[in-house]
Amino acid sequence: MAAMTREETEALIQEVLEIYPEKAKKDRAKHLAVNDQGLEKSSKCITSNRKSLPGVMTIRGCAYAGSRGVVWGPVKDMIHISHGPVGCGQYSRAGRRNYYIGTTGINTFVTMDFTSDFQEKDIVFGGDKKLAKLIGEIETLFPLNKGITVQSECPIGLIGDDIEAVSKKAAKEIGKDVVPIRCEGFRGVSQSLGHHIANDSIRDWVLGKRDGDDSFETTPYDVAVIGDYNIGGDAWSSRTLLEEMGLRVVAQWSGDGTLSEMELTPKVKLNLVHCYRSINYITRHMEEKYGIPWIEYNFFGPTKIAESLRTIAAQFDDKIKEGAERVIERYKADYEAVIAKYRPRLEGKKVMLFVGGLRPRHTIGAYEDLGMEVIGTGYEFGHNDDYDRTLKEMGNATLLYDDVTSYEFEEFVKKMKPDLIGSGIKEKYVFQKMGIPFRQMHSWDYSGPYHGYDGFAIFARDMDMTLNNPCWKQIQAPWKKPAANAEDAQRAAGGL
Amino acid sequence: MPEVMFRKDHNDKLIFYVAKKDLEETIASLEFESPEKWGGEIVLSDGQRYYLEPLPAQPKLPITLRVKRV
């Protein structure tokens, strides 16, 4: 099928919206748009970061997910208490696959679940005493932890516990950082506010710790990798490229990151932002308070990697600029071999994405390097500025959908017939049962890393093994297939 | 009276950013931009107007300040 025209895409949106009641239709229409590369500002064509419509199936998470799961969770040497009932912590435990180095339960704690396990009496009488006791127990059982965060679940905000007071008192007693975070799930319209709250708590409780302390030896080439959560090892395959070009990575936020790395970040010369959505707040703060500039980069696919390495190098002297060219040259043979191998198998295939954070726009370059085309994309919890950055990346007249409902997504897929869908676990089996190849783009479908040149090879292999898997030919039941010829029909009937 | 962060982007354009409102817009014009007086009426490139009490000196950017809606 040739690419859809603007009119066809608009007609498709209207057709899909037809089923909604009048009011819902009006609301959802604002979140669906046809891309126009000519536009500078996305606010002219799409509305985002609004409350989901009651009654539709949304794919969003909550503020707790944004803070505990995304921003704070991967900080490996701290213990993150899910303060409240047991479910929130347990069902989100280790799901994001933030890889880290360390001995779990001794000096690192990422995949463990710590919870205050609220019961009825804690709701009635308050949970402050339980929290204080819990912090004491953690200190006894896991003495090598570097600090504790208290991640509030919904009931904490509802009953009005004073976690700040408990945290301050406990911090004095154990002599470590105890950070209270008011990330109750009901705050905001999606996990996005959780990111903001987590950023603010880092700003208020962590970042200023080393102000006025110059004992840390700096170099002119210090950078921090911000907003890389090391999913399947992503931050590692990014970090090697930066180090090869001559930079010194002082901190990783927050995949495989530590508390002391976070405290040292104000000493760096440049902040490199990968996931803009979840972490831009803190980089803006650091720019204002410490005068550290920040730039966004994209390490998906060789075209974007080369572009990003050069942009990063442009902030430094000639030594780094040469380093960037050297790195690009060094991996050239590798990625050209990957493209030569997989491009013929993937050329011209169409992809639809629906993910969060940065991937709906950042992965487009990687697909294009493999000759694939992204025909629709959207963010779970993106804001205007995410869509601003997406308009230029996407082709003209492609489809944009914000906070897409499961009904809309299914209808779009039925009509646009993509060859591959990239989204999350909640969508995976629906589309696989529809017979469409699917990759989870949150957890890389338990593969990865996908960042960097090394990651690109894995990305290409994964896309190929999903798309060209022979199982997709077996999806239709044999008795529903039209008989290819009379002989087959006879054989099926037991005649031969 | 929103809290606004003023910053220069990589093209050296002045940017008006309000985190809570998801508003990031270039500043089309600023009434006073001399070394001894900085502020006054702000016109954003999408036409919105704000007023910043003029500062006695050019501030070091980025900076967060309170502005009034006009």
Quote the CA–CA distance of A369 and A366 in Å, as a whole number: 5
Q: Which CATH architecture has domain B3-69?
A: Beta Barrel (2.40)
- DSSP state, residue A2: P
Angstroms from B64 CA to nearest CA on chain A: 8
Quote the CA–CA distance of A300 and A308 in Å, as a whole number: 10
When the pLDDT of each residue in chain A is averaged and rounded to a whole number, the result is 94
Share of chain A above pLDDT 70, in %: 97
Residue of A nearest to B25 (CA): A41
User: B43 Cβ partners below 8 Å, 6+ apart?
Assistant: B27, B28, B29, B49
Task: Kindly state the tokens that stand for A362.
Answer: 């950042």
What pLDDT is stored for residue A4 in this prediction?
A: 86
* Domain spans of chain A, in order of start: 1-60+347-496, 63-188, 222-330
* A314 assigned to active site: no
CB contact (8 A) between residue A287 and residue B10: no
Cα B18 to chain centroid, rounded: 10
pLDDT, tens digit, for every residue of B40-52?
999 998 889 999 9
Q: Read off the pLDDT of each residue in A18-38 and give the average, rounded to a whole number.
A: 94
- Chain A from 150 to 209: CB within 8 A of any B CB: 196
Confidence category of residue A2, pLDDT binned at 50, 70, 90: low
What pLDDT is stored for residue A95 in this prediction?
A: 84
* Domain spans of chain B, in order of start: 3-69
What pLDDT is stored for residue A1 in this prediction?
A: 46
pLDDT, tens digit, for every residue of A189-216?
999 999 999 999 999 999 999 999 999 9
- Cα dihedral sign, A343-A346-A351-A357: negative
Q: Are A361 and A390 in contact, with CB atoms under 8 Å apart?
A: yes
Q: Which amino acid, residue A477?
A: A
- DSSP state, residue A346: H
Q: Is the pLDDT reported for residue A421 higher than 90?
A: yes
What pLDDT is stored for residue B23 in this prediction?
A: 85
Collapsed DSSP state (helix, strand, coil) of residue A376: strand
Q: Is the pLDDT reported for residue A481 higher than 80?
A: no
- Indicate the residue of B5, B22, B24 with minimum beta-carbon distance to A288: B5
Nearest 5°: phi and psi at A485? -155, 175
Q: Which CATH architecture has domain A1-60+347-496?
A: 3-Layer(aba) Sandwich (3.40)
Q: Read off the pLDDT of each residue in A305-314 and give the average, rounded to a whole number.
A: 97
Q: Are A361 and A304 in contact, with CB atoms under 8 Å apart?
A: no
Alpha-carbon separation of residue A301 from A226, A236, A321, A363, A455 (angstroms): 19, 16, 20, 8, 8
What pLDDT is stored for residue A486 in this prediction?
A: 60
Q: Read off the pLDDT of each residue in A137-145 and give the average, rounded to a whole number.
A: 97
CATH 3.40.50.1980 fits A63-188, yes or no: yes
CB contact (8 A) between residue A281 and residue B62: no
Q: Which residues pair with A180 in a beta bridge?
A: A150
Ranges A163-177, A450-464, B18-32: which has the least confidence: B18-32
CB contact (8 A) between residue A284 and residue B63: no
pLDDT, tens digit, for every residue of A43-67?
888 999 999 999 898 999 999 999 9
What pLDDT is stored for residue A234 in this prediction?
A: 95
Share of chain A above pLDDT 90, in %: 89
Q: Is the pLDDT reported for residue A494 higher than 70?
A: no
What pLDDT is stored for residue B11 in this prediction?
A: 83
pLDDT, tens digit, for every residue of A88-117?
999 989 888 999 999 999 999 999 999 999
Q: Is the pLDDT reported for residue A476 higher than 90?
A: no
Cβ contacts of A289 on chain B, cutoff 8 Å? none
Classified by CATH at the fold level, domain A222-330 comes out as Rossmann fold (3.40.50)
Rounded to two decimals, the ipTM of the complex is 0.91
Q: Is the pLDDT reported for residue B13 higher than 60?
A: yes
Angstroms from A356 CA to nearest CA on chain B: 17
Q: Read off the pLDDT of each residue in A287-302 and give the average, rounded to a whole number.
A: 95
User: B3 Cβ partners below 8 Å, 6+ apart?
Assistant: B18, B19, B20, B64, B65, B66
What pLDDT is stored for residue B24 in this prediction?
A: 86
Q: Read off the pLDDT of each residue in A441-451 and give the average, rounded to a whole number.
A: 94
Chain A, chain B: beta-carbon pairs less than 8 Å apart = 26
Residue of A nearest to B65 (CA): A288
Q: Is the pLDDT reported for residue A136 higher than 90?
A: yes
What pLDDT is stored for residue B20 in this prediction?
A: 83
Q: Read off the pLDDT of each residue in A445-454 and give the average, rounded to a whole number.
A: 95
CB contact (8 A) between residue A288 and residue B63: yes
Q: Are A353 and A378 in contact, with CB atoms under 8 Å apart?
A: yes
Question: Which of the residues A284, A295, A389 would you substitute to probe the B interface, choosing the one with the greatest number of B C-beta atoms within 10 Å?
Answer: A284
Q: Read off the pLDDT of each residue in A424-446 and give the average, rounded to a whole number.
A: 94
Cβ contacts of A281 on chain B, cutoff 8 Å? 19
Q: Is A383 on the interface with B (CB under 8 A)?
A: yes
Cβ contacts of A39 on chain B, cutoff 8 Å? none
pLDDT, tens digit, for every residue of A311-344?
999 999 999 999 999 999 999 999 999 999 999 9
Angstroms from B26 CA to nearest CA on chain A: 11
What pLDDT is stored for residue A483 in this prediction?
A: 63
Chain B residues within 8 angstroms (CB to CB) of chain A: 5, 7, 10, 17, 19, 22-24, 46, 60, 62-64
Residue of A nearest to B18 (CA): A281
Q: Within a 10 A sphere around the Cβ of A125, how many other Cβ atoms?
A: 11
Residue A450's nearest CA partner among A346, A304, A280, A279 is A304
Angstroms from A289 CA to nearest CA on chain B: 8
Catalytic residue among A33, A63, A65, A251: A65
* A340 assigned to active site: no
Greatest mean pLDDT range, A298-307, A383-392, B5-14: A298-307
A99: left (phi over 0), alpha (psi -120 to 50) or beta: beta
